[in-house]
């Protein structure tokens, strides 16, 4: 069965909209850690959180609290900066997913360019793996990016499904074929395959056609559904679809 990792960044987004700079207040809500625990009750096999350089949602203390509180695994998403790497090495998550990060974007847009930044990424991958952390590269399903991820020694690639999720008028089938080809190439190079970005309760069925999937990381859709049914139930509904 494919594992579900629940991204709780947007729980923190809601909190920061009201309580930015006031997290010491007892009413600073909603609490990302509480959301993570509810997601675990709903069947999540991991919790994903992205500590961005601008701290727009998750805060440093959130990652340390998650590390102590959750019972599954922590997938720490991060840009390749010395500051965030140092924090990741202190948090000691099971997994780190290296992602691109642009100041103006609302959420991560597009995959990491492992080809252009291969030299800069190599030391980061080595530092994380020397600390016992598994490394994933969040990349577009392009042969050059998958091959660079393999050269870097990453254990996983996480295929960026945003182009597929945002496609329409039949173009999503072409994007799905790219994802399938990317997964097949990754597997042939010894890489494990995750996927994420824009996956929801409606398009999940097509996503499951991608071979060799180990884990899907889903955030916005589950948080949106949780506004109506709660985090535990929203997670359980996605888990049920994964097992269908």
Per-residue DSSP letter, 106: S
Mean pLDDT, rounded, of the chain: 94
3-state secondary structure 179-196: HHHHHHHHHHCCCEEEEE
Predicted TM-score (pTM) of the model is 0.94
From CA 187, how far away is CA 189, in angstroms rounded? 5
Does residue 24 have a pLDDT over 90?
Answer: no
The arithmetic mean of pLDDT across residues 84-104, rounded, is 91
Which one has a higher pLDDT value, 31 or 101?
31
Determine the pLDDT at residue 109. Answer: 62
Percent of the chain with pLDDT over 90: 88
Residue at 95 is within a domain: yes
Total domains present in the chain: 1
Convert the pLDDT of each residue in 121-143 to its tens digit: 999 999 999 999 999 999 999 99
As a 3-state breakdown, the chain gives helix, strand, coil percent values, each rounded to 5, of 45, 15, 35
Determine the pLDDT at residue 139. Answer: 97
Does residue 13 have a pLDDT over 70?
Answer: yes
Percent of the chain with pLDDT over 70: 96
Residue at 191 is within a domain: no
Does residue 103 have a pLDDT over 60?
Answer: no
Residue at 167 is within a domain: no
Q: How confident is the model at residue 148 (pLDDT cuts 50, 70, 90)?
A: very high
Determine the pLDDT at residue 56. Answer: 92
- Phi/psi at 143 (nearest 5 deg)? -55, -45
Residue at 145 is within a domain: no
Q: What is the CATH number of the domain that holds 208?
A: 3.20.20.70
Closest CA to 91 of 57, 121, 66, 114: 66
Residue at 229 is within a domain: yes
Prior bond to 123 cis, omega within 30? no
The arithmetic mean of pLDDT across residues 186-195, rounded, is 98
* Beta-carbon count within 10 A of 181 CB: 16
From CA 32, how far away is CA 197, in angstroms rounded? 19
From CA 234, how far away is CA 231, in angstroms rounded? 5
- Structural contact between residues 150 and 188, judged by C-beta atoms closer than 8 angstroms: no
Sign of CA dihedral 34, 8, 85, 67: positive
From CA 108, how far away is CA 9, in angstroms rounded? 12
Per-residue DSSP letter, 11: H
Determine the pLDDT at residue 105. Answer: 45
Q: How confident is the model at residue 26 (pLDDT cuts 50, 70, 90)?
A: confident
Range of the domain at 72: 3-137+201-243
CA angle 59, 65, 70 (to 5 degrees): 125
Least confident interval from 33-42, 44-53, 105-114, 195-204: 105-114
Residue at 169 is within a domain: no
The arithmetic mean of pLDDT across residues 185-196, rounded, is 98
Active site residues: 50, 77, 197
Determine the pLDDT at residue 27. Answer: 83
Does residue 44 have a pLDDT over 90?
Answer: yes
């Amino acid at each position: 069965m494919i594992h579900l990792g629940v991204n709780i960044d947007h729980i923190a987004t809601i909190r920061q909209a009201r309580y930015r700079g006031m997290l010491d207040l007892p009413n600073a809500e909603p609490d990302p850690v509480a959301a993570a625990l509810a997601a675990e009750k709903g069947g999540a096999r991991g919790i994903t959180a992205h500590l961005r350089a601008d701290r727009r949602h998750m805060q440093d203390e959130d990652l340390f609290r998650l590390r102590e509180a959750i019972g599954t695994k922590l997938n720490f998403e991060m840009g390749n900066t010395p500051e965030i790497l140092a924090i990741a090495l202190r948090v000691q998550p099971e997994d780190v997913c290296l992602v691109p990060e642009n100041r103006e974007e609302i959420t991560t847009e597009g995959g990491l360019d492992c080809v252009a930044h291969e030299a800069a990424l190599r030391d980061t991958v080595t530092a994380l793996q020397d600390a016992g952390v598994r490394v994933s590269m969040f990349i577009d399903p392009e042969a050059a990016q998958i091959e660079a991820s393999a050269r870097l020694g990453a254990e996983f690639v996480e295929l960026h499904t945003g182009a597929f999720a945002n496609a329409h008028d039949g173009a999503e089938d072409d994007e799905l074929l790219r994802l399938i080809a990317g997964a097949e190439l990754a597997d042939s190079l010894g890489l494990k395959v995750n996927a994420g970005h824009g996956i929801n309760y409606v398009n999940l069925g097509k996503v499951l056609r991608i071979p060799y999937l180990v884990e899907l990381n889903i955030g916005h859709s589950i948080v949106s559904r949780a506004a109506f049914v709660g985090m535990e139930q929203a997670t359980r509904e996605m888990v049920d679809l994964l097992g269908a």
